[in-house]
Structure 1
Amino acid sequence: MRCPSCTSRDVGKIGANQYYCWNCFAEFNVSGDEVRIYEVAEDGSLIVVDQANHADVEFGTGA
């Protein structure tokens, strides 16, 4: 899978349909055809940054 924000493959799964990018430090979730991208605030809360279409995210093993 690639990060929808920076296209890095350095993505880890943190929950059901929730992922974290270690390159740009964005958190995102996939729900149906929508991908929501969040910035993690200093207090740990999530701030919505962007929404993208499901087609923008590449799924796979990264190999």
Structure 2
Amino acid sequence: MECINCKSKNIGQISQNHYYCWNCFVEMHREQDVFHIHEVDLDGSLLPLNDLFSEDERRVQ
């Protein structure tokens, strides 16, 4: 698996269908065959980054 944001392979699994990139610190959630990407804010909330990537880029390969 590769990070959609930085292309790193340094990905950890948080829970089923939830992943975290240790290189660029984004969280990815897989829903059906599309990933949803979030940045973790300082207060722990998640900020969506889906608008930065097309659906084709976020599609599971």
Q: TM over 0.5, yes or no?
A: yes
**Count of matched residue pairs:** 55
Give the number of the structure with larger relative contact order, counting CA–CA contacts within 8 Å between residues 6 or more apart: 1
**TM-score under structure 2 length normalisation:** 0.81
The structure whose residues are more often helix, as a share, is: 2
Identity, in percent, stands at 42
List structure 1 runs of 4+ shifted beyond 4 angstroms: none
Q: Secondary structure at the match of 1:20?
A: strand
Structure 2 gap ranges (5+): none
**Which ranges of structure 1 fall in alignment gaps of 5 or more residues?**
56-63
Q: What is the TM-score when the length of structure 1 is the normalising length?
A: 0.79
In terms of fraction of residues, the more strand-rich structure is 1
